[in-house]
Amino acid sequence: MTVIGKRSAAVVVAVLVLAGCGKTAGSGSGSVLSQSEFVAEANRVCRDVTARAARVAALGRIRPPAAAKDLYAHWLAAEREALAAAKELENPTEEPEGDPLVPLTIAEGKIAGYAHRLGAHECSEPQAGTMPP
């Protein structure tokens, strides 16, 4: 099995395990969290869940406070964009027009901005690195 194949298998297993959990720690029965609980839970996910697909799934189960709901929806959309861009890098469906890292880098920039604005500073670190000069 190739390194990418092993990584993909690990991601699938992690997503299945997280899906079976049914709720995130500290979130009760899917209840809306306070701002401090939300930040703590988002930071925990970003710190502890390293596989991109599992991270998206875990973040999607967090219920932010009403004041953060719209911004958090944008953050989750950017997480999904990054996931799609990473999958496209691993298994290109067509010849890219330009640098194939650009969509991933843009999505990660959005993630960093949204996470930072929401106070989840551990989530504002890019996972892919930086663009070469």
| pLDDT score recorded for residue 93 | 77
Is the pTM higher than 0.75?
Answer: no
| pLDDT score recorded for residue 24 | 39
Walk along the chain (133 residues) in steps of 10 and give the mean pLDDT of each run: 52 47 44 94 95 95 96 97 92 79 93 96 72 46
Half-sphere exposure of 114 (CA within 13 A, CB side): 19
Decide: 45 and 55 in contact? Cβ < 8 Å. yes
Residue 133 lies in a domain: no
| pLDDT score recorded for residue 110 | 96
Segments forming the whole domain that contains residue 96: 3-123
| pLDDT score recorded for residue 4 | 54
Domain count, the chain: 1
Residue 15 lies in a domain: yes
Residue 49 lies in a domain: yes
Cα 58 from Cα 44, distance rounded (Å): 10
| pLDDT score recorded for residue 8 | 53
Cα 47 from Cα 38, distance rounded (Å): 14
Decide: 82 and 107 in contact? Cβ < 8 Å. yes
| pLDDT score recorded for residue 7 | 54
| pLDDT score recorded for residue 133 | 44
Residue 130 lies in a domain: no
